[in-house]
Structure 1
Amino acid sequence: MRENTFQELENLPGLPFTKATRLGQVQFFHFGRAHVTNAQGLILDVGAWTLEVACFWQLEKAGKVAIAYQDAAIARDAQALANPDFDPLVPGSNLRDRKLQELVRQGETHVKVSKVTASPAGEVLISLGADLVLRVAPSQGIQKETTYFWRLFSNTGTNQTLAFGLDGAQPS
């Protein structure tokens, strides 16, 4: 995998992993800090850069899967008996959300982007220190009805965006 295949990814090294959010099955990884005001006038705490992922991803620790995209199908506090009210689409309800929140709570000094590599096929590896690697792999599976597999965008007013989909990379 080549380094710096996409120029926008060069903005991530040095930034801490500060937040993980989700909308349905689409995962958002936030790096650095920024504040934006939404249409209702609320000030939101977001990453300076956000990676929106609508394809297969996993977080690996020391080469082993620590958090997987598929963990969303498991209830946050898995029990011996299935809970009929469990809805994996509700943010915070599943094992994946719980594990990501625990990782964020480790603090900005422990989970910081040290290196980013990407391939022309859209595979992305983000090294987060402490033997942690976020692997984004569109070739392993994508969301249905998505216009792109992943998208990186700035929340700092620079309007920089890079989306990767069926037609490859589409920078802003």
Structure 2
Amino acid sequence: MINTRNEIERRLSVLRGLELSGVNHAADMLTLSFGPLRQVINFKGAFKYVGVWALHVQCAWRLEEAGRAVATDDDLRGQDEKAHASTHRLQRVLLANGCATVEAVTADAAGGATLSLSRGFCLTVIPDGNADEEDWRFFASGVNAAHLVIKGGVIAPESFD
């Protein structure tokens, strides 16, 4: 039997010491890149930059600075203009004055994870617990390998393919 907390911490441990290199969104999904950026061609044939690792969050999340909420998943919901403005604000906060670095990773048995970042930031990912929906996924960008997928607060079977 897989220990959810241990498996998440083991997989996310590769982020320790890496800089957060990108903050974006796709609809209301938060997308984060970690490690040096490199140029790739997307499925439409356009160039884009990706980090070594990616975290895509579709469930509840909260970014705090020194214990105060800076942003939540609600900031990406609603009008496109609101989501774009929130993403730009997150980019300024986390990337503009020297990229935040991952200092520690913790997880819980409910499929949640917390990334403690430099400069007093902390990102907490909180699965919604809906068994039919993906909460979040973590993967190596541009590498054909299994993604760590959390669905309904548990590690999805495809995470071990």
Query: In which range does the TM-score fall when normalised by the shorter chain?
Result: 0.7 to 0.9
2-structure distance, mates of 1:63, 1:88:
28
What TM-score, normalized to structure 2? 0.81
Shift in Å at residue 150 of structure 1? Answer: 0.4
**Do residues 105 (structure 1) and 96 (structure 2) align?**
yes
Structure 1 outlier segments of 4+, above 6 Å: none
Per-residue CA distance 1:31-74 (angstroms, 9 max, x = gap)? 1133332234333201211110011111101111012222235x
| 1:121 and 1:168 in contact (8 A); partners too | yes
1:70–1:13 CA distance, 2 compared to 1 (3 A): same
Q: In structure 1, list runs of 5 or more residues that go unmatched.
A: 74-86
Of structures 1 and 2, the one with the larger relative CO (CA 8 A, separation 6+) is 1
Pairing 1:1-172 to 2, within 5 Å after superposition:
4-6=6-8, 7-32=10-35, 33-72=37-76, 88-90=79-81, 93-94=84-85, 96-102=86-92, 103-108=94-99, 111-139=100-128, 147-157=133-143, 159-166=145-152, 168-170=154-156, 171-172=159-160
Using the alignment, how far apart are the partners of 1:98 and 1:166 within structure 2?
Answer: 29
**Preserved CA contact (<8 Å) 1:113 1:128:** yes
Name the TM-score, length of structure 1 as normaliser. Answer: 0.76
Alpha-carbon shift at residue 138 of structure 1 (Å): 1.4
Tell me how far apart the structure 1 counterparts of residues 40 and 132 of structure 2 sit (CA, whole Å): 25
Q: Secondary structure at the match of 1:70?
A: helix
RMSD: 2.6
The Cα of 1:131 is off from its aligned counterpart by: 1.2
Question: How many residues end up aligned between the 2 structures?
Answer: 152
The one-letter amino acid of 1:106's match is N
Distance 1:146 1:105 in 2: 37
Evaluate the alpha carbon distance shift between residue 132 and residue 4 of structure 1 in structure 2; reply closer, same or farther with a 3 A threshold: farther
Change (3 A) 1:19 1:5: same
- 1: CA distance, partners of 2:5 / 2:120: 18
Q: Which amino acid aligns with 1:88?
A: Q
Uncovered stretches (5+) of structure 2, i.e. residues with no partner: none
- Percent identity (aligned): 28
